[in-house]
Amino acid sequence: MTESTTLVALFLGLLEGLTEFIPVSSTGHLLLAGHFLKFESAGKTFEVVIQLGAVLAILTIYSTKLWAVFRDAPRDPVARQFILSVLIAFLPAVFIGVLAHDFIKTVLFETPMLIAVMLILGGIVLLFVDRAAPPVQHDDAMRIPLRKALTIGFIQCLAMIPGVSRSGASIVGALMMGVGKRAAAEFSFFLSMPTMAGAFSYDLYKNRDVLDASAMGEIAIGFAMAFLTAVVVVKWILNYVTRHGYRIFGWWRIIVGGVAIAALLAGF
C-alpha cells in the first residue's frame, strides 16, 4: 500500500464518518470522491465495509442504553416493542438487498451522474419534508408503532440507489410518519446497526475472492477513521436537528450534486 493510497483511505474514512449519520448519502459521497480521486477498490467493497466503523460508533455511544433495553426486554413491553420495531424495519433491506445486490454494485455504483442527480433530488425532498412534515405524533424513538416502523424500513430501501442516503431515506420516512426530528434521527441510528452489519457481512461474503492483503489494509485505515469521526458527529447531530431541523443538509446535497454534475460534464 503506497503513501498516496493511505492518504486517500484516511480521507475517505473521514468522509464516511462525517456523512454516515447525516442525511447526505455517505455512499454517494464516497463513490463520487473515489471517482474523482481515481480510487478503485476490489468489488467496491471498501466503500461498504468502512461503514461498519461508523456503526460501531453508535454501539459505543449507545452501549449503556442498548444493554438496558435487552436486559429489560423480558419484563418491559416498551423495550420489546423497540427491539421488534428495529427488526421489522430492517427486514425489507434484507430481501431487497440480497435480490438486487449485483445490480446495485455493478451498475448503480458505477454511475457517477446518477449519484449526483440523486443527491440533488434528495436535497429537494429533504427541504420540502423539513417544512411540510405532518404534526409530531411520536417523540420517542423507542415507541414508534410497528406498522410505521415497517413503512420506514421500506422507504429506507430507496437508499440502495447511491446518492439517496440510508439515513436520509429513513429520516424522511419517519418524519412523514409523524415522528419528531430528534426521534427520527435516533431511530435511524438504531436501524443503521442491523442494516449496515448485514450489508457488511453479505458484501464481504460476495467479494471474498477479490480481496487481498493490500485491500484489507486500506479497509482497516478507512474503518478506524470512520469510527473516530462518527463518534463526534453522532454526539453533535441530535442537538443540531432538534434546534435547526434538516434544511442545511438539503442545501448541502444540492450544492455537492451540482458541483459533481458540473465536474462530470467538464470531463473530470
pLDDT of residue 150: 94
Distance CA 232, CA 57 (A): 9
Which residue type, as a one-letter code, is found at position 19? T
Asked if 197 contacts 55 with a C-beta cutoff of 8 angstroms, the reply is: yes
CA dihedral 4, 113, 17, 140 (to 10 degrees): 180
Q: Whose CA is closest to 92, among 184, 173, 179?
A: 173
Distance CA 190, CA 170 (A): 11
pLDDT of residue 2: 63
Instruction: Outline where 108-212 has alpha helix (H).
Output: 112-132, 146-156, 166-176, 181-206
Distance CA 216, CA 43 (A): 13
Give the list of residues 6+ apart from residue 103 with CB closer than 8 angstroms, or none: none
Q: Where are the domains of the chain?
A: 3-265
Express each pLDDT in 165-183 by its tens digit. 888 899 999 999 999 999 9
Query: What grid cell was written down for 72?
Result: 429489560
Q: What is the mean pLDDT of residues 81-100?
A: 88
Q: What is the pTM of this model?
A: 0.84
Q: 253 falls in which pLDDT band (50, 70, 90)?
A: very high
Evaluate if residue 206 carries a pLDDT over 90.
no
Cα angle 34, 35, 37; round to 5: 65
Evaluate if residue 199 carries a pLDDT over 80.
no
Weakest mean pLDDT among 6-10, 124-128, 132-136, 224-228: 6-10
DSSP bridge pairs for 12: none
Q: What is the mean pLDDT of residues 89-101?
A: 83
Residue 102's alpha-carbon distances to 5, 110, 203, 207, 262, in angstroms, are 26, 12, 10, 11, 29
3-state secondary structure at position 137: coil
Query: What's 164's DSSP letter?
Result: S
Distance CA 26, CA 39 (A): 16
157 Cα distance to chain centroid? 11
pLDDT of residue 214: 60
Work out the burial of residue 81: count CB atoms within 10 Å of its CB; fewer than 13 is exposed, 13-18 middle, 19 or more buried.
Answer: middle
Distance CA 220, CA 37 (A): 19
Q: What is the mean pLDDT of residues 246-265?
A: 94
Distance CA 137, CA 141 (A): 11
Weakest mean pLDDT among 46-60, 79-93, 109-123, 126-140: 46-60
Q: Whose CA is closest to 50, among 169, 214, 207, 204?
A: 204
Long-range Cβ contact pairs of 204-212 (< 8 A, separation 24 or more): 204/45, 204/49, 206/43, 206/101, 206/105, 207/42, 207/43, 207/45, 210/42, 210/43, 210/45, 211/42, 211/43, 211/45, 212/42
Tallying the residues shown for the chain, one arrives at 268
Asked if 164 contacts 100 with a C-beta cutoff of 8 angstroms, the reply is: no
Q: How much of the chain, in percent, has pLDDT values that exceed 90?
A: 35
